[in-house]
Structure 1
Amino acid sequence: MSWDLFRRVCLGGVLLVSWGIHRVCAGPLDDLTRLRNETSWRASSSGEPWQTSNGDCRPIPPGETLVLADLEGPGEVRHIWFTVSAEDEFYPRSMVLRVYYDDRAEPGVESPLGDFFGVGHGLRKDYQSLPLEISSEGRALNCFWRMPFGKRIRIEMTNESDRPVRCLYSYIDWVALPSLPHGTAYFHAQYRQERPCRAGERYLILDTEGRGHYVGTVLSVLHSEASWFGEGDDFIYIDGAAEPTLKGTGTEDYFCDAWGFREFQQLNHGVTIWEGYDAGDRGTAYRWHIQDPIRFSKSIRFEIEHMGARVNPDGTFVSGFIERADDYASVAFWYQEGLPKRFAPLPPLSERVRPTQLFEAEASRAGIVHSTGEIQVQEGDYSGGKQVLFVAGTSDATLSLPFVVEKAAKGILRVDLTTSWDYGTYEVRLDDGAASGPHDFYSASIKNRAVKFPVSELSSGPHQLHFKCLGSNSASKFKGSDRQGFNLGIDSIELIETP
C-alpha cells in the first residue's frame, strides 16, 4: 500500500473504527514485530558488472520470450515491479506475463501485462488498490499478490508484437522459506475474452476444479453500440451447485459501484478506464475479494450476463435490458491447491485487439494548414511520446490536419486531444461533415479529451480534420500573463473498427 493511500485510509481518524479497515492496515504492520526464518532475495534486470553498470534493462525482440526469474523453492514472491519502453503503443496488451510453478507444463498465471495489472485495452492509467498499483502515468507497475512455490517458479514475459520492446526493467522480490505449510494454495490468474460476447450464453470468467478461494476480477469492455452495457447479473456456482450460490443484481453492483460507471479508485474496487457510453468507448473495472474471498472445496464457475440498454441510431429508446454483443475481456484471480483446470487458452494477439488504425498527429506536421500562429511538436506523455501544439494567437484561428486511411473501415474515428490552462474552445469537423462542438479545451492542468465521429464507412485514402477556434474560456491564460489563451493540442487519431 502506498504511503498516500495508507495515510488516507489508515490514519483518517474515524475510519479506524471500521474493523475491516483496522485488519487491512494493522495486519501488515503487526507482522513486522514477528521475526521469521526467511531470507530475502531479489531477481532483477540489474546489469553486470553490478558495481559499475547502468545497463539495467533487458530488450525483448518481436516474438521472443524473456525469463525474468527462475527460482528454486520453497519460497514466496512478495512484490513485482515493471516499467517498459516499447515501440508498440499498445504494449500492455501485446506483452504477455506468464508464471510457471514446480515445472508444470501449463502456466499458473497467463495474461496480457496491462490486463493483469487492472488496465485493459492496451492503455495506461495510474491507480491504487490493495494488491496492484500503477504510477508514473501508467508506466510503473507494482504487484503485491503473494505467490508461494514449493519446488520452483519461473516468471516470463513474451513480446507478441511485431515491434521491439526496447527496455524492460524488473524487480522480483521474494523470500526463501524452510518449507511451505501443508495445504498452501498457489496464486493463479487467467485472461479470457469473447469478441463479441456469444449470443445466448453468459460470459465465462472462471471455471476451475479443486479447493481454494476466489480473490478478484478485472473486466474490460469495448462497446459495440451506444448506451449502457452493464445490466448483466453475476452468477457464481460453487462445488457443482445446480443454481448459483451467489446471485448478483447488475454489473456495476458486482464491482461495488452504482448507477453506471465513472473512473474512480478504492482499496477493493474501482474503474480504471471509462470513456463513456458511445460505440467504440472502452472501460475497465476491478473488484478484489481480499477481505471477502469466495471459498470453494471442489469447483467454482463464475459467469456474468452481457445485458444492457439499446437505442436506435436516431436516439429513440428500444430496451433497458437486452442482450448486447460487446467485446469482453477478463482476468480471474484465485488461489487453489493442486493443478487448476485449463479453461481458457490465451488467444493470439491478432484476436486480442480490435482492428485499429492509429495516426500520430505529429506525423502530419508538414501537411498542416493553419491561419495564424505557429505549429510546435511537444514531447511528453502522449501517444508516440509527442503531440502537435497549435499556438493559435487569435480567437478565430483555423487549422486543418491531413491523415491517410490505409483500409476502409466502419466504426469510430476517435480524435485524441489534450486540455490545458491556455487552450481555446474549438469546433471539430471531419472532411465536409457536420461540426462537432463547441469543445472547451481549457483545464487547470494537462488532461486528455477525445472527440468522436461515428463513421458508417470511412473510405481509404486522404482525409482532413478541420479545427475552428470559437474563442476560449475566460480562465484560459498563458502562464504568468493575463493574455488570453487559444491554443490547441492534437495527440493522435484512432480509427476503431466496430461490428
Structure 2
Amino acid sequence: MRNKFFPIITFAVIIVNLETLVYAQNLDAIKAPAAMRSGRATSGNPYNNSDAWHFKPGETRQLARLTGPGEIRHMWFTAFSENIRHPRAFVLRIYWDGSNVPSVETPLGDFFGAGNGMQAEINSVPVNVKSFGRGYNCYWVMPFAKEARITLSNESDEFEAGSHFMIDWVQYNKIPEAGILYFHARYHQDYKPVYGEYYTVFETRGKGQYVGTVLSSQNRTGHWYGEGDDFWYIDGEKKPGMYGTGTEDYFNEAWNMRVHSGLYTGCTIFEPRSIDARVTAYRWHIPDPVYFNKSVKFQLERTGFILDSVGNVITSHGHRPDYWSSVSFWYQDEIARPWCTFPSYNERVNSEIVIHLPKIVDKIRHSAGVELRVNPYNRATYTKPWFQAVNNNVGEWIEIPFEIKEQGLYSMSLFQHLREDSGIWKVLIDNKELYDVGESQIAGGYEVDKVRQMSPDEINTTLDFYNIFMKNEHEDYIYGQRRERKIGLFEFKPGIHTVKLLCVGSNPLTAEHGSGRLKYNLTADVISFRKFPDEGLKEWINKVIRDAKDE
C-alpha cells in the first residue's frame, strides 16, 4: 500500500515546490544588494492625463533608447483602436547593441499569448495579461551590453491606433562576468501549407537556449487539429533527438485542449471545433530550456482528424490544411539573423467587413417596442460610445444591414456586450434560419463539427446576452464585458444582406431585485464578416480521401 501511494505524494510535492520556487527567486533577488540603477521609459507625462501615444496608419515610433549595460525587467502596454484586429496590426520590435536587425519582431497580441488578432487573459510567469485582454505585461529579462532600442508600429493601412506604455529597466555598473545572452522573439506564419510538410516553429544557428512557444491555428476543416508530434533537431542532427506524442501533449494538455492559464502552459483561445475554429496555446520552457551549441530546428506535424463535406471522419491522422502562426522565444550568445520573412499586416489577417453598430444606428430597422440608443461612454467597446436596444418584450426585433461586394464564404462574428440587463435573442440572416443559409457554429448542447448531420430542431441559433462571466466588480456592473462570439459560416452573393436579432426570452438571472421582472435588452459592439480562405480546400480533402483509401 505504501508503494502504491508514493508516486502520487511525490508528484504533489513537486507541484508545490515549482510554484514556491517562482516566488522564492523573486524574494531572494529583492533582498540582495545590487550595483544597479533603475529607470523607466513611459508614454506618461507629469502635466495631465493625456498619457497615450497615437499612431497614424503605417506609423512607427521609437518608445525607448536605453544606454547599457543593463536589462529590461518589465514592459506594460495597453493598446486601443477602432481596428478590431489591432493586436495583429501593432508590431513590437527590439534592437540590441546598435544592430539594425530586430531580435524581437512580433505582433503585440501574439507576443502576449493571443493570436489571430484576438484578445485573451493570461496569468503565467513571464507574460501576464489583464483587463479582458487589454493590459499587457511582460516579465522576460532582456539583457544588453551597449544599447536597447524599442519601437512600436501600427501597420494597419486604414486605422489610427494608440497605446500607453511603461518599460522598466536597470542599468549595470558593468557587464556581468558570465556575459549576457540576448533575448529573441520572432513571429512566423505559414498560410500556404504544403500537403505533408511539417510546420517550422523555430530555427537558428549559434549557441543558446529555447524558452517558449505561442502557437495559433485557424482551422480550415472541422474536428481536432492537434495529432501532430513535436520534433527537435539539435546541433545538426539528421534525425530528431527529441520528439513527442501530440500537439496538445507538447503544451502539457491531454485529450484535447481547454481554455486555461497556468505558470508555464496554457490555452488562451479555443473556439468550438468547427471549420474556422481559432486556437492559441503557449508553453514556457523556463524549468526545461532546450539547449543548443551550434544549431536547432523545432517542427510540428500538421496532422489530425479530417472530415468530409457532411462531417464524417475520413481519418484521425491526416494532413491538415490549417493556417498556423507562432512566436518563438529564445536566448542566444549573439544577435541572431531572422530565419523567416516577416509578413505584412494584410498577410497576417483575413479580409474582413467590420461594422461598428454605434456608427450605423440610423440604418438599423427595429420593431415598435424597441428603442435604439447610443450611450456616450463605455470602456469595454472599441469606439467608446456603445449601442443598446432597449426592450421589454419577447418578440421584438432589430435588423442590421450589411453589404457584400465579393462572393464567397464568410465567417460571421458578433461582438456581444454582455450585461446584467440583457435577454436571449435569436439570429436570422436575410430573414432565414441559420441552417438554411449556411452552417451555424453557435455552441450549445451538441458537437459543432457534426452540425451538418443534425436536424434543425437540434441546432442552436440563439445568443444569451446576459453577463454570465460577471465577477461582481465595479466594471462588470457599470460597463459589462465584450466577447467575440462566432455565429457561423455562410456563403454570400454580392449585394445588401441583413442580420435580424429576435428576442425570444431572458436569462432567469436577469431578474430585477424586488419585483423579479426579467430584462430583455440587447447590447453589442461590432458585427464582422471574415472572408474564409477556402482556396484549394476541396482538392486537399479529396487527396486525404484518396490517401485514406490506400492505407
Give your verdict on TM over 0.5: yes
Give the corresponding residue for 1:180. Answer: 175
AA paired with 1:472? S
1:400 and 1:195 map into 2 onto residues whose CA distance is 35
2:386 and 2:318 map into 1 onto residues whose CA distance is 41
1:417 and 1:18 map into 2 onto residues whose CA distance is 39
Match of 1:475, SS? helix
Match of 2:57, SS? coil
Give the corresponding residue for 1:74. Answer: 69
Match of 1:23, SS? helix
Give the corresponding residue for 1:374. Answer: 371
Equivalent of 1:44, from 42, 45, 51? 42
2:500 and 2:56 map into 1 onto residues whose CA distance is 39
Equivalent of 2:499, from 454, 458, 465? 465
1:267-346 alignment to 2 at 5 Å?
A: 267-346=263-342
2:356 and 2:54 map into 1 onto residues whose CA distance is 24
Give the corresponding residue for 1:5. Answer: none
Structure 1 residues 146 and 315, CA gap change in structure 2 (3 angstroms): same
2:221 and 2:426 map into 1 onto residues whose CA distance is 25
Give the corresponding residue for 2:114. Answer: 119
Equivalent of 1:255, from 251, 258, 262? 251
Give the corresponding residue for 1:411. Answer: 410
Equivalent of 2:57, from 53, 62, 76? 62
Structure 1 residues 262 and 383, CA gap change in structure 2 (3 angstroms): farther
Give the corresponding residue for 2:217. Answer: 221
Pairwise CA RMSD: 2.1
AA paired with 1:318? I
Give the corresponding residue for 1:264. Answer: 260
AA paired with 1:245? G
1:202 and 1:196 map into 2 onto residues whose CA distance is 12
CA contact (8 A) 1:103 1:152 kept: yes
1:70 and 1:399 map into 2 onto residues whose CA distance is 52
1:294 CA displacement = 1.0
CA contact (8 A) 1:98 1:111 kept: yes
CA contact (8 A) 2:248 2:257 kept: yes
Cα-to-partner distance string for 1:317-343 (whole Å, 9 max, x where unaligned): 222211111111100000011232421
CA contact (8 A) 2:154 2:161 kept: no
1:15 CA displacement = 7.0
Cα-to-partner distance string for 1:296-352 (whole Å, 9 max, x where unaligned): 111110101111212223222222211111111100000011232421121111111
CA contact (8 A) 2:229 2:244 kept: yes
AA paired with 2:261? Q
Give the corresponding residue for 1:454. Answer: 489
Structure 1 residues 126 and 18, CA gap change in structure 2 (3 angstroms): closer
AA paired with 1:394? N
Give the corresponding residue for 1:7. Answer: none
Query: Would you tell me which structure has more helix in proportion to its own residues?
Result: 2
1:135 and 1:484 map into 2 onto residues whose CA distance is 32
CA contact (8 A) 2:81 2:382 kept: no
2:224 and 2:385 map into 1 onto residues whose CA distance is 33
1:443 CA displacement = 4.0
User: Quick one: percent identity of the two aligned structures?
Assistant: 36
Give the corresponding residue for 1:141. Answer: 136
Gaps (5+ residues) in structure 1? 1-13
1:86 and 1:489 map into 2 onto residues whose CA distance is 20
Match of 1:471, SS? strand
CA contact (8 A) 1:193 1:328 kept: yes
1:278 CA displacement = 1.7
1:476 CA displacement = 2.9
Of 369-378 and 235-244, deviating more is 369-378
Cα-to-partner distance string for 1:15-58 (whole Å, 9 max, x where unaligned): 797332222121110112210111111122233xx4x3544332
Match of 2:109, SS? helix
Cα-to-partner distance string for 1:331-380 (whole Å, 9 max, x where unaligned): 00000112324211211111111111112223332232322132223434
TM-score after normalising by structure 1:
0.91
Cα-to-partner distance string for 1:437-473 (whole Å, 9 max, x where unaligned): 2444444434536252322x31222111122222233
1:135 CA displacement = 1.5
Gaps (5+ residues) in structure 2? 1-11, 435-459, 471-479, 535-551
Give the corresponding residue for 2:421. Answer: 422
AA paired with 1:454? L
Residues 1:18 and 2:16 aligned together: yes
2:80 and 2:506 map into 1 onto residues whose CA distance is 37
Cα-to-partner distance string for 1:246-278 (whole Å, 9 max, x where unaligned): 211111111111222221111111111122212
AA paired with 2:398? L
TM-score after normalising by structure 2:
0.83
Structure 1 residues 83 and 475, CA gap change in structure 2 (3 angstroms): closer
Structure 1 residues 423 and 209, CA gap change in structure 2 (3 angstroms): same
Cα-to-partner distance string for 1:164-210 (whole Å, 9 max, x where unaligned): 54533221111111222334211000000011433221001110011
Structure 1 residues 467 and 245, CA gap change in structure 2 (3 angstroms): same
1:408 and 1:58 map into 2 onto residues whose CA distance is 39
2:120 and 2:462 map into 1 onto residues whose CA distance is 27
Match of 2:334, SS? coil
Match of 1:19, SS? helix
Give the corresponding residue for 2:401. Answer: 402
CA contact (8 A) 1:234 1:303 kept: yes
AA paired with 2:114? V
Of 206-215 and 174-183, deviating more is 174-183
Structure 1 residues 317 and 384, CA gap change in structure 2 (3 angstroms): farther
Residues 1:240 and 2:275 aligned together: no
AA paired with 2:18? G
Cα-to-partner distance string for 1:109-161 (whole Å, 9 max, x where unaligned): 11011111111122222221101111123222111111110111111111111
Cα-to-partner distance string for 1:216-272 (whole Å, 9 max, x where unaligned): 000111111221111111111111112212211111111111222221111111111
Of 394-403 and 218-227, deviating more is 394-403
Of 442-451 and 404-413, deviating more is 442-451
